[in-house]
Structure 1
């Protein structure tokens, strides 16, 4: 039996713990707040993030990282991306030296512009044979409700990807493998920013034509950044690219889409943040993705304009007007 530790008791960490349990793993969740861990153990639910969803009895929770990681074959990291380095630095001494490390996080680190797998390698020195990412259309509540879903286990090491695939292949969750860790991580990170843009368009009252246009051009921006970083172009037409982008941009369950809709409706970033405990990763990652694009000379106008709105430099209406007034170009970049 796989022994899995999931570091992060939010909605996606808890939903993935349920997937692992359904696939036959023994799962321990590490939670930041002892009272939430106690509630999970007492009620077999996560009342704060997935209320009403029953968790299998093999899932337990603890606030002690050493207890969570004890004899784990699989360590799953599901904390907000900007807190990963600090948290993982504290946990690293407790992690088994042979454990596979799996990122569920979809972001790029502020300051370093590093992908999450690069941060994991920085902190642990685990190397490509032990580091993977799971990405795709991963709306946590639907997965926790055992609605059918597919995803991608991306790793440079094929054997590692296959082991993780087997560990999370449940009756309702179908994982595929992909060697392109760079592309899978970029797709997961950039789609959050594009979802903010789609939400802004919806909040301003624009319809499906506008949203579809933003999604399509957002995918083109993602693919350009991926090409500059050596990603496989096919990744962006797959589950970790288009699949994740479509789900995040169109679903009312998407935190980033909902955050953008509130921005488009006139709320400020501070007002929206004050009203939720959930993290919309794109709000911070837009800065680091724009930084990463700048380092590689990649033009990402949607990311640039969303960043302007988040900074308070542009209103949502000004963002749309500025994007539409850009000079006309061929659809295919560079032609």
Structure 2
């Protein structure tokens, strides 16, 4: 059945999601701040509203949508990966707080926009406490080249997609320093352990992080020059300044903001985040890429897993 969908955010990811839904025969309206139509016009009669704006744009967009008349049957899908700098909330938490009566679905996975636009196969996850809403979103986007799975742990789905951006910056730096495959494998593996540790502390399920939105997204963004966060780490490792990198970047590298918010929260809550801490120090200009590597390598020895 045809579903009326409004996608807010006409960047690479928003445009890709609009294309996928439209290719499945759904009625799609794409909106950005540069659109000639008003937000009220494109939201009229929408059954699903997809938010694909940057993290900084989430709260302003939510406030705009909140000022309009939105029915309780409307499903909100958030495809943003980040943490709000002022409240430390995730995008879905911001949407749910504004619309407590509506279902909110999180969409995340190893989804590099340029590959999907080129027609290459990919898969993603839609997570929600309302599984019927998740199943509806699944049918909207699922196709022979874009496989969609459901998950009942939206926080885990969201955190996997958010926290891997910080690890992708580290991975880019690793490659920029030409540290080799062994170092990269160790970094990604320990990065996943760090993501799980954070996620468990905040109430997410471990199994979710071994899925597409966790390990899958981590592998994609830590190994592809198409990843903006990877590009940030790589650029820093070869001597570019953060300002220069971000100025020439196509789109937003959410890991830059996420690392600062994450490390602040982790320090407050006593969560060990050695890789994220070094990434944050690197982004703040307080350490060189090589010094960050040395700091991680010289940490006290310990068991790989926690003993009973």
Shift of residue 95, structure 1, vs aligned partner? 5.8
Report what 1:173 is aligned to: 146
The CA distance in 2 between the partners of 1:68 and 1:294, in whole Å, is 42
1:290 matched to 2:263? The reply is yes
The CA distance in 1 between the partners of 2:174 and 2:21, in whole Å, is 37
The CA distance in 1 between the partners of 2:237 and 2:253, in whole Å, is 15
The CA distance in 1 between the partners of 2:156 and 2:107, in whole Å, is 12
Structure 2 counterparts to residues 65-76 of structure 1, below 5 A? 65-76=39-50
Structure 2 counterparts to residues 184-263 of structure 1, below 5 A? 184-263=157-236
Shift of residue 13, structure 1, vs aligned partner? 0.6
3-state SS in 1 of match to 2:137 = helix
State the Cα deviation string for residues 41-67 of structure 1 (Å, max 9, x = none). Answer: xxxxxxxxxxxxxxxxxxxxx542112
Unaligned runs of 5+ in 2: none
Report what 1:105 is aligned to: 80
The CA distance in 1 between the partners of 2:266 and 2:158, in whole Å, is 14
Shift of residue 294, structure 1, vs aligned partner? 2.9
The CA distance in 2 between the partners of 1:258 and 1:273, in whole Å, is 9
- Whether contact under 8 Å (1:8, 1:77) holds in the other structure is yes
Shift of residue 290, structure 1, vs aligned partner? 1.6
Q: Which of 282-291 and 240-249 deviates more?
A: 282-291
Report what 1:15 is aligned to: 16
The CA distance in 1 between the partners of 2:165 and 2:69, in whole Å, is 30
C-alpha spacing 1:266/1:334, structure 2 compared with 1 (3 Å)? farther
- Whether contact under 8 Å (2:228, 2:249) holds in the other structure is no
1:264 matched to 2:237? The reply is yes
Structure 1-normalised TM-score? 0.88
3-state SS in 2 of match to 1:248 = helix
3-state SS in 1 of match to 2:150 = strand
Report what 2:25 is aligned to: 24
* RMSD of equivalent CA atoms: 1.4
- Whether contact under 8 Å (1:136, 1:240) holds in the other structure is yes
The CA distance in 2 between the partners of 1:68 and 1:145, in whole Å, is 27
The CA distance in 2 between the partners of 1:95 and 1:302, in whole Å, is 44
3-state SS in 2 of match to 1:94 = coil
Q: Which of 82-91 and 260-269 deviates more?
A: 82-91
